[in-house]
Structure 1
Amino acid sequence: MIAETVCSAVSAAGLGIAAITAYRKRFLAATRLAAYSLVPVGLVMTGVVGWLADTAFSMKAWAGFGVLGVAWLLFMISRAVERRSGGTRKERKAAKAAQREAVAPAASAPSLGQGARPAAQPAAKPKAAAPKEDFSDIEAILKKHGI
């Protein structure tokens, strides 16, 4: 009974704030406020609030929440131990290694036959070796700063 009254009061206050917001020409915000303020009344009308109030004062429900909490805690502990021990990492590494081994490392590209490509071009002359880069200016800067 008290929960229904509180929800109705919250909805009425929200609708009042939505009306003031609409008066200030902020219609989009007013529409959102009206939608949010109608949720508590809808929950009261569907009986969810009564169910929640009954659940909040039920020892059986609190014991159930405790069991769920312990289950969640055990799950998180098992995940932490699994990460620390690297159980899944080893499995992933093994799977990646097996995947790499599936493809022959020395396999060449498939041949398309003689007529599929034009004749190979003769090997071009190797380009002249690129001149060695001069790092003397960088070395001077580093020496200047004592590095």
Structure 2
Amino acid sequence: MLAETICSAVSAAGLGIAAITAYRKKFLSAARIAAYSLVPLGLVMTGAVEWLVDTAFSPVAWAGFGVLGVAWLLFMSTRAVERRRAGREVAAGGAGQRAVAPAASAPSRAVTSKPKAAQPAGEDFSDIEAILKKHGI
């Protein structure tokens, strides 16, 4: 009962401030203030405030929040352990690479051509020539 009275008083005060703001010809601000001040009144009318007050002073509800917290901690700790184990397998090379699909093959690696011993390292333009010929240049 007290929470509903406080919310109603806050709404009434907010609507009064909105009226003063509208009198000063700041209509956009007045509409925004009115919208914010109607929220507590709407919560009282829907019964959400009563539910919130009953939940806040209920030991069973607080025990339920504690159980949810423990469940969240367990979930996060198991997730951290999984990540740590996966990191160790990758660092050690793993027993074998895991494929996304059972029939998937290992990714192919591009082999870079090394310049021939007779040519200096900076004069191998065969790749560039092939690209230019492909584009008709």
TM-score, scaled to structure 2: 0.60
Matches within 5 A, 1:59-78: 59-78=59-78
SS in 2 for 1:25: coil
Aligned match of 2:105:
101
- Which structure 1 residue ranges, 5 or more long, are not aligned? 107-128, 130-147
The separation in 1 between residues aligned to 2:106 and 2:84, in whole angstroms, is: 30
Q: 1:57-104 CA deviation, whole Å, 9 max, x = no partner?
A: 1111111111111111112222222333336x96xx734697973788
Tell me if 1:3 matches 2:7: no
Cα separation, partners in 2 of 1:86 and 1:22, compared to 1, 3 Å: farther
Q: 1:87-126 CA deviation, whole Å, 9 max, x = no partner?
A: 6x96xx73469797378889xxxxxxxxxxxxxxxxxxxx
Cα separation, partners in 2 of 1:95 and 1:14, compared to 1, 3 Å: farther
Moved over 4 A (4+): 96-100, 102-106
One-letter code aligned to 1:4: E
SS in 2 for 1:94: coil
Aligned match of 1:51:
51
Q: Bigger shift: 19-28 or 31-40?
A: 19-28
- RMSD across aligned C-alpha pairs, in angstroms? 3.3
For these two proteins, the number of residue pairs brought into alignment is: 105
TM-score, scaled to structure 1: 0.57
The separation in 1 between residues aligned to 2:106 and 2:83, in whole angstroms, is: 28
One-letter code aligned to 2:73: L
- Which structure 2 residue ranges, 5 or more long, are not aligned? 91-96, 111-122, 124-137
Q: 2:99–2:106: 8 Å Cα contact kept in structure 1? A: no
The separation in 1 between residues aligned to 2:76 and 2:15, in whole angstroms, is: 42
